[in-house]
Structure formats: C-alpha cells, structure tokens
C-alpha cells in the first residue's frame, strides 16, 4: 500500500477505475437467466440423478416392461423440490449482498454532496463518513472534524478489537502526501469519537485489504454425502449384476429346444435378424432400477432444510443483549456438527470479551488488591507479606516514606504512561437549553483496552496531590518491543521517563536486584490467567534528554529506514530504568467460555487457538479457559526456545519446521496434543492451518480476519458481535455467543447426524426389500421381464407410501434427550468418525433387506401353493401375487421404522398410521374405478378381492410378524445402556 501510494503521490486520482461491488457473504450461484440451466447441470452431476435420467431416456426410446412415468415422475419431483430449495437459499444470499452493496454513502463531487450506492464508488472518489458509520472501502484520510486532524476508528468487525485506534491525515502541503498505515482507513472499520471525516477511495471491491484476506470458498461436502455416493456405487454394482444374471439366464433358458419360439409366440423375421441381448440388458436395468433410491436425495434435502429451523427456533440460542438468535446460512452441513474432531478458534472477541478489568498490582514486592473490602489504604489493600513485617516497616519512618513515594510514583506512572483520551460527545440543545450527553456516550478511549482499565482504576484514587506535567515524547507501543514509554517534565523541571510493558521486555532493562521482588507476583498472575504489565521509570538528566530529543526528531523525519532508526533511539533511551511494580488486568472471558471448552474436550474434540496476539497473552487465556491445566506439559516451539548456534534464531526455526515437515513429525506432534496454540498469525495463515488436518474441522470467529479460516474449514461458525457481521455473513452457522457452541455440537449436531444416518441406511434397506422380490420373480416367469408390481406402486412407493414416516423420523427423533447429551459429553464420541455410516452398519442393513425380501417373496409363494385361496374357489393371479407382496412390504418397512422410533409425537403417529391408511385407501380407489386414460387396468378390483380372502389376511399378518420378530425381541430384551438409558426413551426436550 505504501509503495503504490508513494509512487502516485501527485496522481492519486488517476488510478484505474474499478467499482465497489463486493460479496460479503458467499457469492450467489445463480441469476434469473442462468438459474434453470445451471441448476439442472449441478443436479445431474449427482450420480443418482444422472442415472435416473439415463433410465428415463431408455424407457422413452426402448420398449421396456415399465412405463417412463415410473422413473420420470420421481425424477421430476426430486429435481423440482431441490431446485426450489437451492433457489430460495440463493435468493437469501442475493438479499444479504444487496444490503451491503446498495448501502447509501456520501460522495463529494464538484463541491456538492451526492448520495451514492456503495457498489458505485470508484477509485478517486472523495467519500464523507460520519461518526458511527462504517467505511465503505479503503480510504486515505484527507480531512477530519477534529482540531488535530486525527480520527478514531474501531476494527471490531475486522479483528474483534473494540479499542479505538488513531488515524491521521495524509496531507502535509498543497501537493504533498505522506502515506503510511496510520493514514489508511480500512473497509469495514467504524468511525468513532469524530463527527466527520473525508477520505479518498484508493481500493474498492475485491481489491480492499479485507477482501484480499479472504480465501476462495471451496465447495463443502459432508461426510454423509460421501458415504451416500460410496453406497450408491455398491448398489449400482448390485443392479448391474442382477441385470447381467437375468440377461444371461434368459438366453440360457431360451437355448433349450422349444423355449425360444413357443407355438403361441413365434418370432418375426425382423426379430430373428436383430440381436436383442443389449436391449434385454437395458430392460432388466429399467426393471430393477428402483434399487437406487433417487428420492433419498430429495428427502435428505428436505430433512436438512427443515431441520435447520430447529436451530433458529431454539430459545436457548436467543441473546437478549442483541435480541437475536442463531442463524443458519448453509443447511447442507447440519450432520457435520455431530462429526467435528478439531475446533479452530480465534481468541479476541471469541474466547474473550476484549473487556479489561483491573484486578491487582504489586509495588515494591507487595501485592495490592483494588477496592478490597478489608483494611483499605487509599483504595488498595495489602494482601500478602507477613503482618509483622508490615508492622516493622510501618514502625520505621524512613521505610514508610520510601513506600509511600514508590506508591505515588507507581500511580503517577500509570496515570501518565498511556494513550487514553476522554471521549468526545456532542451536546444537544433542547428548547434552547444545553443538554449533557447521555452516560453511555462518556468515557475513555485508547488504542488498548488494557490502558482504559488501568486509567479507570487509578485516576480516581485520591492518593497523591494534583500535579501538572508537560508531555514531551511518546515512545509508541510496538509488538516487537512489547512496551511503550512517555517522557514528561514536571513543574519543578525534572524530566522523567515512564515505561510499561511485558515482563520479558522490561526485566532486561532494569536493575536485576529489583526484579526478584516482582517476578513472583508476575508469574503467579500469569498462571491465574491475568494479563500482566511491568512499570519502570528513569530520571533523565539534561544531557540525556537533549540527546534523546535530538535522536527522536531526526528519526521521525527520516525518509528511509524510519522504523529502524526510531527503534534504535527507543532502545538507547529505555535502559538503566528502575522497576517500580506490576499490574494484573483480567481480559474477561466470554460467558461460560471455560465450561464450553471443557465440554468440547470431554467430547473428544481437540481445540486449536489461532490468534494474532502475543504468546504470553494467549497462554493466559488458554489457562483461564481450562485448555491448559496447571499440570499440562507445554511443548513450546518459538524463536526464544531455540539455541542460537551462531545463526539467527529465525533461520534456525525455519530450518527446524522444514525438517519436521519432511518427516511429518510436526503434524503428528500437533495431532497428539490436546490443545494447540498458534500465535502471531495472519488471517490467511489461520486458513492454511486447516490443510494440515484431514479430519472434520470447525472454525469459529467473530471478525473479518477470521473469514478465511471460516471459509476453509468443513464447518464455519460466526459469532454475532455488537459490531461487525463479516464473520456471520461468511459462516455456515452463526450464534450470538461462544457458550452456544456447546449445545450446537453436543445436542443438535449429535441428533442431526444420528437422524440422517438412519435415514440413509433405511432408504437403502427399504429399496432393497422393494426390488429383491422383483428380481426373484424373474426366475419363475422365464426371465420375461414381467413386472411384479403395478406401475402405480412402482411410482408411488418412494414418493408417497414410505416417504413421510422417515422424513418425520429424521426431523423429530431423539434417541437421547438433550439434557443428557449436554451433561454427558462423552456420548459425542460414540458417533465420531462417521460411526453409523461405516461398512459394518451398511452390511447389517443390507443383510436385513435381503432377509426381508426373501421372506416376502417366498412366504407369499408358499401361500400360492394352495390352489384355492378365495371363498369361491378361484385362485389368485399374477397381479394378486404382486399386490400381496407389496402390501407386506409397505407394512413391514413402515412398522420397522415405528419400532426404531424412541420419541413419539403426534406428527410421528399421524404420518406412520396415515401412510398405511393412505396405501389401503389408494389401493381400493385405484382398483375400484375404471380409468378411461389407461389402456390396460391391471389392478381392477384386485385389492378388494385379495382382502376378501381369509388366507390372504392370515399370510399378510403372519409375514409381517415374522419379519419384525427379531426387532421386537431386540426391543423387549435389550438391556439399558448406562445410567441414563431409561431416560433416553422417555424424555423429549426440544426447545422450539
């Protein structure tokens, strides 16, 4: 940024014209014009959809035993429902983008203020922004309403930091610019404590710094979808095998004399000249094609879409502070919430509130608690050190004076060494009278919330007399120096340097005999999770100050190597200081953050904290969140932990990481750690961490700097903060607070996975039960491709007769109640690593389908061995045979689902018993009327005649009971597992 701006200092408005339009949520896939072709292309990329399209075309072109309607109607239903769902979700993305891109902004053109949509801003436009407004693009500050030509911004929506940062104007002369990071106003930041600013647009749209930190969103696919594709390939192989077997056996059977051309069906000359083997193979494929459950896809889509509403309706996710609940941006990953193995989390604004509170301080080796209830001394209470020692010190006048001087010096240091300013607020006039601003508009602002906490704690303590100091220089805080200093002059003419910073930065610059008195307190506070700062001072002689003043002025005016020269002067001045004491400030954790992290670890989930903060601060947060315990063995890989070896430590660290990477040691070490902490990370580096972990990952953050990490993970979670929604817009799910992650994973995620896993296995099972009798029937009809079921049954089996019960089950089932899932985090481990969709459970469901299919077919065949089945002595025909098999099939698979249901609602009762009643009603209705549009009506009065036979009733009931007998015995004799098992089947606590 600095290079590009410097080269164009006199031609700032001649950048190439680029416009603002940017997608702040995942970009929409469709437009009005390309929706239909693009959506159809995407849908037919699925194996099952493409397969059924081919089957439909075969039925249209080739003379097959079933009507094209049997495949075309289910396919049309699936495609239509899926297109409606995807179109609706894409419309929501368009709506979210328009809220940002159509936002009105003020642009100055030809001396006039013009309102424009934010997407129409181009490079070179002068934009006017008022207080509390968000910058619509990257701006260079040209003018501010403040007298000192500065403004304050907050970047909470970018990095979660709620503190105020200072930016200054870039204009030094009429045609002269001095550009640096302190002049740049980033898109997404918010103007604070400044009435109005004007800035020139330098980067817009996808060229802004925020957009460049985004990483392209890859297509996220759940583990369930991958399992479905694997199972489909298995069933496709079974289908092809069946077709090959039947085709081969047909020609073997026809090779026998008299079988190929019976006297009643002689071949024509054209049939004799044509090889029909391939046509027969296609006909068998069409006949058995219903083993591939195409309707499963639409049921899964509906289950995901409707199931996502349970998250948005959950009252436990509602936050009264922001008056919002959870948000689902992508419903395709619901079941992934139950399969998370790694959680990548941001620290500031996610684990912590970024709201500092002063806890205690240490002066001359004695600890002082702020506003303690017992024996306060000017707002403090001495809380450690032997009482008799204090009495001894109090009895010695010289020591008391010295102690009071140190305490006063300590307080003065903290009241002077900071960047805190009083927040400006505009007074309002009502009826001619000046009305003071509301309380919430008053207060302090600073570049660090630590400083505000310290100033608030010490500025009101009436310990010392009021004095006035002249501020001479500010030695700004730097993440490398990890300290800041001020040089001040008192009225008496004394020049003092006050310095505060991290202990690792202050201790080497003070007298070592003073360190040990403070070190114990600093280490104890760090262990307790507090952020610590050490305070030191130094008297500057006239010569020392003159030298420092000259060096600082020359370094700040340097055109080359300015930062290095300033750093050299800082290091020269900040030496030989005297250590006064240390402070402990608590960065408050998010509500129930420690309990949430503890529960996730109990569920077997490994936590990785990815932060841009320094290691000391991040470590203290990890201790406070119980990610690190006191007995935790820490493996530290930093520059400081490496031996020099005659080379720069950075080079040694780089070589070590390369060596570890070649041997795959680094990945193995990290994966075997319960918690991993990565510090000083850039936004793109956060996203790249996910690539070293192949299991299912979840990323959670609250700022725009977390967007790349959220997009890259299998599941992205955004936290709804008070400011900024970049993470929310780009996330798959959004929750108001970190504590809601526990229920989202351990309860909703667990139940979603169990439900959809059962749905998938059940679909394959019921379709195998459906088509296996059709396959067996070919062995008894001369492989003539005669259908066992009527075309209406083939069409409506998956659409109407068996679809609603499994959909209701997949939405409402609770095999374990939510309270138990939240109290027993270890239950999450039982379904980890896709446990319910492995090959073992798949084989069980497949064998169950084979068993039921064999029982249906041969049980009814045994019934047909009795020649007189009806009261009038007539025998049942071919369609009666198939109808009895189909009736047993529908009742068995539906009642099997009823036996699997642990939580019954009126919806379950309605759809299960209603589906069975609808089947009976449809069969009577379909066969009881002569339909004029049908050339042949195979089921005319078949169902009614079947039910008039006592033998048919007996066999139907007997076969259903025999099929479900193993399940019934399993339910009756199954012993409860664990102390919560009895509650599992009785309790229902969905919050909606």
Interatomic CA distance for residues 36 and 10, integer angstroms = 50
Question: Is residue 358 classed exposed, middle or buried when 0-12, 13-18 and 19+ CB atoms within 10 A define those classes?
Answer: buried
Active-site entry in 314, 346, 702, 790: 346
* Contact (CB, 8 A) for 570 and 608: no
CA atoms within 13 A on the CB side of 28: 18
Query: How many other CB atoms are there within 10 angstroms of residue 782's CB atom?
Result: 14
Angle value at C-alpha 732, between 727 and 733, nearest 5 degrees = 80
Give backbone dihedrals phi and psi of 346, rounded to 5 degrees, phi first. -75, 165
Q: What is the 3-state secondary structure (H, E, C) of 121-147?
A: CECCCEEEEECCCECCCEEEEEEECCC
207: left (phi > 0), else alpha (psi -120 to 50), else beta? Answer: alpha
**Given strand 483-490, what is the order of strands in its sheet?**
380-382, 366-370, 352-363, 578-589, 531-540, 495-501, 483-490, 469-475
Q: Which residue has the tokens 């006050």?
A: 498
Query: How many other CB atoms are there within 10 angstroms of residue 250's CB atom?
Result: 22
Structure tokens at 36: 């239909």
Interatomic CA distance for residues 519 and 836, integer angstroms = 54
Residue-level length of the chain: 992
Structure tokens at 558: 């340097």
Selection from 832, 803, 807, 842 nearest residue 233 by Cα: 842
* Contact (CB, 8 A) for 178 and 131: no
Interatomic CA distance for residues 738 and 724, integer angstroms = 16
Interatomic CA distance for residues 399 and 66, integer angstroms = 104
Residue 186 contacts by C-beta under 8 Å, 6 or more apart in sequence? 135, 138, 153, 155, 158, 208, 209, 210
* Contact (CB, 8 A) for 207 and 17: no
Q: Which residues of 745-780 are buried (b: 16+ CB within 10 A; e: fewer)?
A: bbbbbbbbbbbbbbbbbbbbbbbbbbbbbbbbbbee
* Contact (CB, 8 A) for 630 and 527: yes
* Contact (CB, 8 A) for 239 and 307: no
- Helix/strand/coil for 457: helix
* Contact (CB, 8 A) for 325 and 806: no
Interatomic CA distance for residues 238 and 637, integer angstroms = 53
Interatomic CA distance for residues 521 and 464, integer angstroms = 25
The DSSP secondary-structure symbol of 256 reads S
Structure tokens at 329: 């941006």
Q: How far apart are the first and last CA of the chain?
A: 50
Interatomic CA distance for residues 349 and 702, integer angstroms = 6
Residues pairing with 366 in the sheet: 363
Structure tokens at 460: 């009101």
Q: Is 346 a catalytic residue?
A: yes
CA atoms within 13 A on the CB side of 829: 11
Selection from 349, 338, 266, 355 nearest residue 304 by Cα: 338
Which H or E run includes 687? helix 683-689
Q: Which residues are catalytic?
A: 346
């Amino acid at each position: 940024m600095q290079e590009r701006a410097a080269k164009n200092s006199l031609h700032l408005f001649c950048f190439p014209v680029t416009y603002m339009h940017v997608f702040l949520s995942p970009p929409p896939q469709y437009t009005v014009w390309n929706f239909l072709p693009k959506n159809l292309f995407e849908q037919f990329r699925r194996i099952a959809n493409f397969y059924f399209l081919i089957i439909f075309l075969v039925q249209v072109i080739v003379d097959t035993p079933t009507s094209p309607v049997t495949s075309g109607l289910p396919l049309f239903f699936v495609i239509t429902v899926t297109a409606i769902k995807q179109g609706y979700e894409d419309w929501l993305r368009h709506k979210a983008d328009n809220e940002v891109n159509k936002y009105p902004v003020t642009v100055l053109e030809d001396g006039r203020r013009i309102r424009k949509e934010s997407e129409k801003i181009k490079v070179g436009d002068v934009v006017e922004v008022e207080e509390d407004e968000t910058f619509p693009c990257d701006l260079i500050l040209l003018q501010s309403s403040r007298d000192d030509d500065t403004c304050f911004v907050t970047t909470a929506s970018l990095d979660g930091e709620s503190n105020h940062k200072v930016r200054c104007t870039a204009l030094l002369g009429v045609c002269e610019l001095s550009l640096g990071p302190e002049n740049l106003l980033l898109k997404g930041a918010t103007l604070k404590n400044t009435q109005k600013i004007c800035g020139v647009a330098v980067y817009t749209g996808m060229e802004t710094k925020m957009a460049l930190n985004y990483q392209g969103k890859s297509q996220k696919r759940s583990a369930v979808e991958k399992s479905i594709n694997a199972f489909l390939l298995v069933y496709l192989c079974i289908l092809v095998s069946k077709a090959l077997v039947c085709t081969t056996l047909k020609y073997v059977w026809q090779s026998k004399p008299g079988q190929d051309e019976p006297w009643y069906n002689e071949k024509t000359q054209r049939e004799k000249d044509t090889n029909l083997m391939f046509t027969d193979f296609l006909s068998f494929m069409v006949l058995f094609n219903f083993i591939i459950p195409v309707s499963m896809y639409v049921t899964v889509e509906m289950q995901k879409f409707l199931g996502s509403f349970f998250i948005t309706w959950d009252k436990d996710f509602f936050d009264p502070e922001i008056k919002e609940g959870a948000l689902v941006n992508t419903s395709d990953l619901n079941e992934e919430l139950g399969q998370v193995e790694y959680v990548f989390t941001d620290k500031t604004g996610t684990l912590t509130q970024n709201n500092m509170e002063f806890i205690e301080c240490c002066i001359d080796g004695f600890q002082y608690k702020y506003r303690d209830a017992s024996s306060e001394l000017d707002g403090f209470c001495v809380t450690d050190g032997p009482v008799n020692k204090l009495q001894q010190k109090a009895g010695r006048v010289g020591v008391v004076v010295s102690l009071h001087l140190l305490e006063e010096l300590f307080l003065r240091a903290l009241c002077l060494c900071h960047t805190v300013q009083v927040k400006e607020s505009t007074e309002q006039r009502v009826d001619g009278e000046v009305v003071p601003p509301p309380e919430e508009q008053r207060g302090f602002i600073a570049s660090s919330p630590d400083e505000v906490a310290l100033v608030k704690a010490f500025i009101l303590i009436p310990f010392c007399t009021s004095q006035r100091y002249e501020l001479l220089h500010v030695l700004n805080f730097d993440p490398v120096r990890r300290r800041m200093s001020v040089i001040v002059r008192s009225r008496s003419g004394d020049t003092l340097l006050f310095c505060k910073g991290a202990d690792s930065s202050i201790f080497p610059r003070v007298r070592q005999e003073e360190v040990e008195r403070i070190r114990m307190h600093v280490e104890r506070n760090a262990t307790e999770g507090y952020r610590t700062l050490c305070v030191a001072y130094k008297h500057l002689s006239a010569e020392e100050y003159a030298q420092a003043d000259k060096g600082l002025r020359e370094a700040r005016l340097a055109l080359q190597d300015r930062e290095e020269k300033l750093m050299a002067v800082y290091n020269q001045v900040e030496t030989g200081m005297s250590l006064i004491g240390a402070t402990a400030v608590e960065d408050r954790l998010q509500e129930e953050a420690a309990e949430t992290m503890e529960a996730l670890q109990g569920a077997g989930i490994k936590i990785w904290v990815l932060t841009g903060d320094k290691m000391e601060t991040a470590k203290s947060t990890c201790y406070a969140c119980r990610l690190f315990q006191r007995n935790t063995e820490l493996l530290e890989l930093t520059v400081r932990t490496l031996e020099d070896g005659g080379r720069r430590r950075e080079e040694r660290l780089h070589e070590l990481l390369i060596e570890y990477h070649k041997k795959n040691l680094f990945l193995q070490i990290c994966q075997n750690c319960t918690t991993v902490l990565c510090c000083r990370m850039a936004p793109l580096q956060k996203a790249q961490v996910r690539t070293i972990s192949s299991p299912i990952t979840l990323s959670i953050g609250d700022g725009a700097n977390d967007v790349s990490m959220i997009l890259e993970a299998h599941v992205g979670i955004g936290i709804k903060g008070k400011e900024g929604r970049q993470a929310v817009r780009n996330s798959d799910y959004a929750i108001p607070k970190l504590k809601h992650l526990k229920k989202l994973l351990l309860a909703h995620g667990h139940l979603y996975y169990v439900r959809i896993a059962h749905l998938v296995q059940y679909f394959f099972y019921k379709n195998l039960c459906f088509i296996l009798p059709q396959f067996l029937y070919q062995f008894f009809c001369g492989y003539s491709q005669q259908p066992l079921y009527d075309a209406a049954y083939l069409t409506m089996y998956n659409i109407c007769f068996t679809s609603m019960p499994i959909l209701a089950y997949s939405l409402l089932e609770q095999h374990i109640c939510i309270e138990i899932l939240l109290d027993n985090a270890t239950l999450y481990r039982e379904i980890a690593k896709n446990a319910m969709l492995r090959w073992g459970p798949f084989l069980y469901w497949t064998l169950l389908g084979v068993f039921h299919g064999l029982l249906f077919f041969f049980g009814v065949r045994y019934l047909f061995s009795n020649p007189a089945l009806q009261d009038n002595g007539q025998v049942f025909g071919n369609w009666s045979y198939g109808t009895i098999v189909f009736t047993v099939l529908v009742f068995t698979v539906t009642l099997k689902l009823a036996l699997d249901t642990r939580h019954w609602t009126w919806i379950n009762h309605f759809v299960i018993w209603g589906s069975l009643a609808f089947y009976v009603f449809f069969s009577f209705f379909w066969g009881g009327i002569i339909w004029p549009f049908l050339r042949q009506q195979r089921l005319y009065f078949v169902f009614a005649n079947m039910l008039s036979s006592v033998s048919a009733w007996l066999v139907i009931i007997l076969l259903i009971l025999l099929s479900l007998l193993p399940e019934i015995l399993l339910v009756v004799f199954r012993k409860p597992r664990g102390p919560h098992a009895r509650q599992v089947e009785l309790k229902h606590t969905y919050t909606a």
